[in-house]
Chains A and B, each alone.
Chain A
Amino acid sequence: MELHDRLEEVFRQVFDNDDLVLRDQMIAADIEGWDSVAHINLMFGIEQAFGIRFKGNELADMKNIGELKQFLADRTNSDAAPMRKMHP
């Protein structure tokens, strides 16, 4: 699965919305329910799904989906850690 699809699956789980579609320009305010609690759940879900660990400061700020995807692309390419199999 492409990075975009995998990320979308995490969002769908966290926001309990099977129809959610991600676009690069999206910010937190564009997605219903993206509050501080959901943000924590989301970051954790991404860590699990992509087998990465955010640094403490990276957890808090992420401008938009495009930036998040770029970040994940960089991190998953450079990381030697094997990727975990993702849940739906």
Chain B
Amino acid sequence: MIPSGTVSPEQTPSSDRAETRGDAFRKQGRIEEAIHAYLEALTFPLPPALCLKLARCYDQLNHHTEVCRWALAIVDAGDDFTTWLAGCALFQRHAEEGTWPRLRSAKIALVSSFTTTQFCPLLRLAAARLGIQIDLYESHYGQYQQDIIDPGSRLYAFGPDIVILAVHEGDLRLPDHSATPETDVRNEVDRWTALWKMVAERSRARVLQFNFALPCEVPAGHLASRLPGSRYMMTQAVNLRLGEAAGHAVSLVDCERLSALVGKRQWCDPRYWNLSKQAVALDALPLLARHTASVIAADLGLSRKCLVLDLDNTLWGGVIAEEGLAGIKLGQGPEGEAFAAFQDYLLKLKRKGVILAVCSKNNYADAIQPFEQHPEMRLKLQDIALFVANWESKPDNIRKIADTLQIGLDSLVFVDDNPVERDIVKKFLPEVDVLPLPEDPAYYTRALSQYLGLETASFTAEDSERADQYRARAQIKELEAAAGSLEDFYRSLHMQAIVTPFDDAQLPRIAQLIGKTNQFNLTTRRHGMPQLTAFIKSPDYVHLALRLRDRYADHGLVSVMIARCEGDVLDIDTWLMSCRVIGRTVEATMLEHLCRQAAQAGCTILQGTYIPTQKNAMAADAYAKYGFEPADHADGHQVWRYDLRARGPITNTFVRNVDSWETLDGPP
């Protein structure tokens, strides 16, 4: 996604001519020729007007897939409101099963303090761009409190997954000046957190709230910023406290930052407020929609995990194989500074849990030279989970990277300065997102910072170590190849596990796993925080969280199981495992602990269900593998049973059960 203002679509005269030709064809009803001309006119970054023209042409041909493709392209092509709106209408008419890449659907309820009629379709389009089909409930503007307070409201009848509190600064109950700012701020924060609590009590929805954009107009002027009783300072205090109160449980869209990004004068237009209570100017709505959609995507666990980086002219200026260590631009001079700043930013992303991989057309020896020897390199070899430098095609190499790291192609973002490589990847690996890098490296960091696919819903200890864990995983893959037998390999890993019931501190990570695990997930039930809290409180539920460590890495919390006691049956409601530890017998350890729990609860039968989805085929034989017998098969659900008395408890000799980590004898 290219920020407007940093890069402008530079249309060459020839592309202008092609566009004019396309317009003429279209006027004459020669649609196919018009499409040819428009495709010829395409420049980078994509001009929104051309995306719309293409969508319109395909609309006339009733070509659903292409209409959806070009309507969704508008989201990446800039923030022009009218173009977006037209794109929304086209998308809406053509979006059906199979006409666009849908990953997930979600029921979103939007309650607001201002008019959101225009915002809703834009949000739908922005979410679709991220693979989310939104089923939307929109309440009347100004009705957010009534809707939330009334347990019988249509809001709750709708059964939302997410409730968006779209509210604005004008709605804050703060005087222009207060003699008791502490009290006023506390009361206002209490008012919002009470609403959050009500939503949690009355539904299974997660709350997503807009925070408050400071206004243009500040009566106290500069004095306001040193008067704690000014509305200006109190609003900042409310934002701060809401952030603290939100924690892992509530998501925020930082409207204060967004309003600063577009400029406060652009954020709100008093004419449109007066006419129809638009608290956010129509101009700024596409940006708000994109950001809101990305927070929703993160809540649903659809964030991208891994950046696949090119080297020459992406991480440094010039070509290492030709110009050598002394010739490439890095750290020195304006261009070198730009590349160094980009690397610094990549390192910050790595610390927040983004995996970095390298995919370069180079000789391996040339490619690693700067990492090992250049004094200005910020990124070191150990920061790169997987380093691929060879002369094979980038799509092939990217597939290899996904396989080795055991993550989906839809978790990858490709970063390359070369537009040809970007196009090839787009064409052959449509699941991979491609970052539209601008030509000037000075703007690389900004382009990456405004790319929204890396938004995440929480930050846990696991996240900060994730990148290193993936590096370890790649090493293990190599070890696996070298080991004689699978058993030898398992033993060589020196695995230890700590398995405990859920506790509050683990809940954010557990919710994160439940939200995003697709592959080894037997039932794909997406329980939210409120349900998880209910499971912990209920005496009928058994819940297990497994942490794993081996000689290479601490993998953190990687497997979760929830089961319900019903008489002598212990029924597994949820069982999932992070794909980073698949194929290492961790499943057996989970079942081993479940058997112990069954014994304690007096259950003699373990019962498990496998609900097939498009992504969880790898878990289909999980129960059969450990001696469960097929019991039932209805609506595609397969029920499996294990008789503990007849078959005895399941055990695993490859993973040692410990209460706290024991000293390891391998490399760190």
User: Does residue A36 face the partner (Cβ distance < 8 Å to B)?
Assistant: yes
Minimum C-beta distance from A32 to chain B (A): 13
B265-285 vs A, CB cutoff 8 Å, 1 = contact: the mask equals: 000001110111010001100
- Is B56 in contact with A44, judged by CB distance below 8 angstroms? no
A contact residues around B48 at 8 Å (CB): 87
Binds A, one of B75-83, B210-218, B393-401, B508-516: B75-83
User: Does residue B89 face the partner (Cβ distance < 8 Å to A)?
Assistant: yes
Interface size on A, residues (CB 8 A): 20
- Is B89 in contact with A40, judged by CB distance below 8 angstroms? no
Closest B residue to A41 using CB positions: B85
Closest B residue to A40 using CB positions: B276
- Is B271 in contact with A10, judged by CB distance below 8 angstroms? no
Other-chain contact of A45, B82, B90, B271 (Cβ < 8 Å): B82
Minimum C-beta distance from B9 to chain A (A): 11
A16-B90, A36-B276, A37-B117 in contact; A87/B83 too (CB < 8 A)?
Answer: yes
Query: A88–B89 Cα gap in the complex (Å)?
Result: 15
User: Does residue A27 face the partner (Cβ distance < 8 Å to B)?
Assistant: no
- Is A87 in contact with B275, judged by CB distance below 8 angstroms? no
- Is B276 in contact with A13, judged by CB distance below 8 angstroms? no
- Is A41 in contact with B82, judged by CB distance below 8 angstroms? yes
B81-110 vs A, CB cutoff 8 Å, 1 = contact: the mask equals: 111011001100100000000000000000
B contact residues around A10 at 8 Å (CB): 82
Interface size on B, residues (CB 8 A): 28
- Is A88 in contact with B53, judged by CB distance below 8 angstroms? yes
- Is A56 in contact with B118, judged by CB distance below 8 angstroms? no
Other-chain contact of B85, A13, A18, A56 (Cβ < 8 Å): A13
Minimum C-beta distance from B456 to chain A (A): 34
B contact residues around A18 at 8 Å (CB): 56, 59-60
Query: A29–B59 Cα gap in the complex (Å)?
Result: 26
Q: Which residues 15-67 in A have Cβ within 8 Å of B in the complex?
A: 16, 18, 36-37, 40-41, 44-45, 48-49, 54-56, 59-60
User: Does residue B52 face the partner (Cβ distance < 8 Å to A)?
Assistant: yes
Minimum C-beta distance from A20 to chain B (A): 12
B contact residues around A37 at 8 Å (CB): 117-118, 276
Query: A60–B364 Cα gap in the complex (Å)?
Result: 66
B contact residues around A72 at 8 Å (CB): none
User: Does residue B49 face the partner (Cβ distance < 8 Å to A)?
Assistant: yes
Closest A residue to B38 using CB positions: A88
Other-chain contact of A88, B52, B81, B275, B282 (Cβ < 8 Å): B52
A contact residues around B82 at 8 Å (CB): 10, 13-14, 41, 44-45, 48-49, 87
- Is B275 in contact with A40, judged by CB distance below 8 angstroms? yes
Query: A25–B368 Cα gap in the complex (Å)?
Result: 72
Minimum C-beta distance from B583 to chain A (A): 50
B contact residues around A55 at 8 Å (CB): 271
Q: Please classify the interface of chain A as helix (H, G, I), strand (E, B), loop, or mixed, using the class held by over half of its residues.
A: helix
A contact residues around B117 at 8 Å (CB): 37
- Is A14 in contact with B81, judged by CB distance below 8 angstroms? no
Minimum C-beta distance from B362 to chain A (A): 42
- Is A13 in contact with B275, judged by CB distance below 8 angstroms? no
Minimum C-beta distance from A14 to chain B (A): 7
- Is B282 in contact with A41, judged by CB distance below 8 angstroms? yes
Minimum C-beta distance from B270 to chain A (A): 8
Other-chain contact of B278, A14, A16, A40 (Cβ < 8 Å): A40
Query: A41–B86 Cα gap in the complex (Å)?
Result: 10
Other-chain contact of B81, A44, A54, A59, A60 (Cβ < 8 Å): A44
- Is B86 in contact with A14, judged by CB distance below 8 angstroms? yes
Query: A55–B282 Cα gap in the complex (Å)?
Result: 16
A contact residues around B274 at 8 Å (CB): 56
Minimum C-beta distance from A23 to chain B (A): 19
Best-buried of B59, B117, B270 by chain A (most CB within 10 Å): B117
Best-buried of A36, A56, A60, A88 by chain B (most CB within 10 Å): A88
Minimum C-beta distance from B94 to chain A (A): 12
Best-buried of A44, A54, A55, A60 by chain B (most CB within 10 Å): A44
A13-B85, A16-B86, A37-B118 in contact; A88/B56 too (CB < 8 A)?
Answer: yes
B contact residues around A16 at 8 Å (CB): 86, 89-90, 93
Other-chain contact of A40, B86, B93, B272 (Cβ < 8 Å): B272
- Is B59 in contact with A44, judged by CB distance below 8 angstroms? no
- Is B83 in contact with A13, judged by CB distance below 8 angstroms? yes
Q: Which residues 103-151 in B have Cβ within 8 Å of A in the complex?
A: 117-118
A contact residues around B276 at 8 Å (CB): 36-37, 40
A54-88 vs B, CB cutoff 8 Å, 1 = contact: the mask equals: 11100110000000000000000000000000011
Query: A37–B285 Cα gap in the complex (Å)?
Result: 15
Closest B residue to A54 using CB positions: B271
A contact residues around B85 at 8 Å (CB): 13-14, 41
Other-chain contact of B49, A14, A40, A88 (Cβ < 8 Å): A88
B contact residues around A87 at 8 Å (CB): 48-49, 52, 80, 82-83
The 5 closest A-B pairs by CB, nearest first: A16-B89, A87-B49, A45-B82, A13-B86, A56-B271
Which B residues are closer than 8 A to A by beta carbons? 23, 48-49, 52-53, 56, 59-60, 80-83, 85-86, 89-90, 93, 117-118, 270-272, 274-276, 278, 282-283
Q: List 28 A-B contacts (CB under 8 A).
A: A13-B52, A13-B82, A13-B83, A14-B85, A16-B86, A16-B89, A37-B117, A37-B118, A37-B276, A40-B278, A40-B282, A41-B81, A41-B82, A41-B85, A44-B81, A44-B82, A44-B282, A45-B81, A45-B82, A48-B80, A48-B82, A56-B270, A56-B274, A59-B272, A59-B275, A88-B49, A88-B53, A88-B56
Which A residues are closer than 8 A to B by beta carbons? 10, 13-14, 16, 18, 36-37, 40-41, 44-45, 48-49, 54-56, 59-60, 87-88
Q: A16-B90, A40-B118 are in contact. List 18 more A-B contacts (CB 8 A).
A: A10-B82, A13-B82, A13-B85, A14-B85, A18-B59, A37-B117, A40-B275, A41-B81, A41-B118, A48-B81, A49-B82, A54-B271, A56-B270, A87-B52, A87-B82, A87-B83, A88-B49, A88-B52
